[in-house]
A and B are shown apart, each in its own frame.
Chain A
Amino acid sequence: MSSKEKKPRQPMPPLSVWGPAVALAWLVPGGGHFLLKRHGRATLLLVSILAMFLFGLMMRGEFLKPQGGDLLTILIYYGGFLCNLLSGIPYLMATWLGYSQPDVAGAVHDYGTKFLVTAGLLNVLAMVDAYEIAAGKKS
């Protein structure tokens, strides 16, 4: 049998199986893995994503807010806002505690903004991984 043959598509598992893990993975980086008892991987995810986020804050990065304009502006600002939001509780806490950094010129601030956005993107990867583990597609 050829290995390139298409596997039959598996039905999606019910929401109750993967929902809590993915929701917790969104709120707390690595939280989904903790819930699924993958403590080692969960710790690595928590430390890496949180450190990325905290360095972003300490470099005085900007939280992007939805902003209209041309297509590129919309993509950057709406996408950036979504990525910030996907960091979960760290973003919500920082906003709630009043972190607000205006967009200023400078490489360090720019790096900070990218660190904050990337922390959210890395958390998305952690959420997808938590989904795959919870759904039994991965150990």
Chain B
Amino acid sequence: MKVNLSHFEAALLFSLFTSIVLGVVTKRTDRERLRYGLYCFACFVVALFGLGWLMYLGHG
């Protein structure tokens, strides 16, 4: 079985799994874990769009 993901889909999946693990292992209460996981995911998505636009604009 082979999957063909776009850059965006692959980066989004990467962000999702990484955020879950970072949320689970870093904080001490479930509420903090959830908040931190969501925060990490939001940071990934913002960076994804930010770098995407930067490359688009930089490319001319």
Contacts and interface: CB of A to CB of B under 8 A. Distances in A.
Nearest to A55: B13
B55 interface: no
B2 to A, nearest CB: 6
Nearest to A133: B25
B9 to A, nearest CB: 9
A125 B22 contact: yes
B1 interface: yes
Interface string B1-14: 11111010010011
Contacts, number: 59
B7 A107 contact: yes
B28 A128 contact: no
Instruction: Categorize the interface residue count of chain A.
Output: 20 to 34
A128 B22 CA distance: 12
Name A's interface SS: helix
Contact of A122 (B1, B7, B17): B17
9 nearest CB pairs, A to B:
A129-B25, A111-B10, A48-B20, A52-B17, A58-B3, A122-B21, A48-B17, A125-B25, A41-B24
23 contacts: A44-B20, A44-B21, A45-B21, A45-B24, A47-B20, A48-B24, A49-B21, A55-B3, A58-B3, A59-B5, A108-B3, A108-B10, A111-B5, A111-B7, A111-B10, A114-B14, A122-B18, A126-B21, A126-B24, A126-B25, A129-B24, A129-B25, A138-B28
